[in-house]
Each structure stands twice: as structure tokens, then as C-alpha cells.
């Protein structure tokens, strides 16, 4: 018996000791813990993490510090839990581009403030509202490594893909195909296309520059659809929350 056969026997013996009712979750855990982090037996987890992080670094060199493009027309919500995001007291800090440590460093360097003066010249200050229009790389990683099942033969759609973090993470941590990003802003579409080409992710990722309401067939065909607060803060004057909700 060679080493591979011996290892297989040990694994089958271990599996036989598990309650059949719990064997499926156990195998799924192995898929998530090892098969996704190891490709064809070669450990690639560190390289995968680095690719996602490097994608963010590349985006950071292309777009403004607040990750808001001149071609955007952002409409802040006036009702609900995000109604406090008033333009004069809200700072856009993209979570994909800046970690909490990055923000702390920017504050220490005087490049960013956490507070604003409610009465100029006094000590009466209040905290600024920080918002992000992207998920962080860490959160995207958690979603695809821990929250969704093994995705071989499955498709992923990110509505309002913006900088593309969900697409890059889906490509890095799952075998899903296709991975589609729908983005209404052509500048963000071009940015994503550049990053995808640079990091050779165009084998599975595709970008659609369109209004999601015009892509009903694509949405209905997807196995996993991601909506990361995409309709909370609107980025297009032609949209309304009611029309998006009805869609």
C-alpha cells in the first residue's frame, strides 16, 4: 500500500466514525477549509489573498481618494437608517481600498478627520459619518469562504459591482463560472475591465455596463445574486427606490 492509499484508508476510517446525519456538513467543511484554499494539491491561499489585495492597490492608483468619480451623481437617502448621511458631514472611505488601520494612519497624518466642528471655533464637535460603497476585501473573502457552499458549476452576479471586489473575491475563492458584474457607470466598468485584464481574471469574470432593470434575463439565470446596499445610496438620477424595489 502506497502513501496515497494509506491516507485514503485513514480518511475513510475517520468518515465511518461520523454520524451519517453529520457527514455532509463535515465534507462541506473540508471543501471550504482545504479544497478552496488548495488548488490541485498546491497551497495557494497566500497568493489568492495577495491577488485580491493587489487588485485594491491597483484601483487606489486609478481613482480619487474618496473613490467617487466625477461622472457619478450620488443621491443620498433622506429616510431610514442611512438618512444621517448628509453630504456636508459624510466622508466617503471605500472599505475595499482602505482598512481600519489605513484610516487610523490617515487620521494620525492629518490627511483625514473623524470629527467636524458644529460651532466653528468651539470645542463642540461631533463625529463625521463614514460610509463605503464597497465591501472590504476581508468581508468579501468571508462571504465566499464561509457563507456560500462550494460553487463548482454555479454562477455569481454582483449588482452594482463598482470597483469589483466581490468579483475578484469570487474568482479567487470559488470555481464559480460565470462571474458577472452589472455596473451602470461606464467609468467603473472600464476600471474593472482594466483590473480584470491586468490580473488575468477574464477567463471567468464578465462586466456588463447597463441598468440592472434592463438585464432581467441575466438576473433570473444566476445562482447567487449579490446586492451590497446597492439601492440604499443611488448613483443614477433616473433610478428611484420604488422602481428598483418593484424590479
- Does residue 168 lie within any of the structural domains? yes
125 and 212 housed in the same domain: no
Give the model's pLDDT for residue 183. 95
| Residue 180 contacts residue 218 (beta carbons within 8 Å) | yes
Q: Please enumerate in sequence order all residues whose Cβ is within 8 A of that of 7, keeping only pairs 6 or more positions apart, or say none.
A: none
Taking the alpha carbons at both ends of the chain, their separation in whole angstroms is: 60
This model's pTM is above 0.75: no
96 and 144 housed in the same domain: no
pLDDT tens figures, 76-117: 777 777 777 787 888 889 999 998 899 999 888 888 888 888
- Does residue 116 lie within any of the structural domains? yes
- Does residue 178 lie within any of the structural domains? yes
- Does residue 107 lie within any of the structural domains? yes
- Does residue 75 lie within any of the structural domains? no
- Does residue 40 lie within any of the structural domains? no
Please report where in the chains the cell 420604488 appears, as a residue: 242
Total of domains in the chain: 3
174 and 231 housed in the same domain: yes
CATH number at residue 180: 3.40.50.150
30 and 102 housed in the same domain: no
- Tell me the average pLDDT across 144-158: 88
Domain interval for residue 109: 87-131
- Does residue 242 lie within any of the structural domains? yes
Neighbours of 84 (CB within 10 A): 12
pLDDT tens figures, 188-237: 999 999 999 999 999 999 999 999 999 999 999 999 999 987 665 555 55
50 and 155 housed in the same domain: yes
Mean model confidence pLDDT for the chain: 82
19 and 54 housed in the same domain: no
- Does residue 148 lie within any of the structural domains? yes
- The rounded distance, in Å, linking the Cα atoms of 144 and 169 is 7
Amino acid at each position: 500500500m502506497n502513501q496515497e492509499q494509506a491516507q485514503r484508508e485513514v480518511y475513510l476510517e475517520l468518515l465511518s466514525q461520523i454520524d451519517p446525519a453529520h457527514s455532509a456538513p463535515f465534507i462541506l467543511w473540508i471543501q471550504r477549509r482545504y479544497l478552496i484554499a488548495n488548488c490541485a494539491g498546491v497551497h495557494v491561499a497566500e497568493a489568492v489573498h495577495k491577488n485580491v489585495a493587489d487588485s485594491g492597490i491597483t484601483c487606489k492608483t486609478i481613482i480619487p481618494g474618496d473613490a467617487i468619480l466625477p461622472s457619478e451623481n450620488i443621491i443620498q437617502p433622506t429616510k431610514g437608517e442611512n438618512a444621517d448621511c448628509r453630504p456636508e458631514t459624510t466622508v466617503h472611505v471605500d472599505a475595499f481600498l482602505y482598512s481600519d488601520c489605513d484610516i487610523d494612519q490617515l487620521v494620525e497624518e492629518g490627511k483625514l478627520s473623524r470629527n467636524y466642528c458644529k460651532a466653528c471655533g468651539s470645542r463642540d464637535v461631533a463625529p463625521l459619518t463614514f460610509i463605503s460603497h464597497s465591501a472590504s476585501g476581508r468581508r468579501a473573502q468571508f462571504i465566499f469562504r464561509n457563507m456560500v457552499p462550494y460553487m463548482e458549476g454555479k454562477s455569481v452576479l454582483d449588482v452594482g459591482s463598482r470597483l469589483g471586489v466581490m468579483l475578484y473575491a469570487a474568482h479567487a475563492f470559488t470555481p464559480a463560472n460565470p462571474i458577472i458584474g452589472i455596473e451602470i457607470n461606464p467609468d467603473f466598468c472600464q476600471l474593472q475591465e482594466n483590473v480584470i485584464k491586468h490580473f488575468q481574471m477574464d477567463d471567468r469574470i464578465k462586466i456588463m455596463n447597463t441598468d440592472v432593470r434592463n438585464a432581467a434575463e441575466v438576473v433570473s439565470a444566476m445562482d447567487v445574486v449579490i446586492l451590497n446596499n446597492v439601492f440604499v445610496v443611488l448613483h443614477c438620477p433616473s433610478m428611484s427606490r420604488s422602481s428598483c424595489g418593484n424590479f
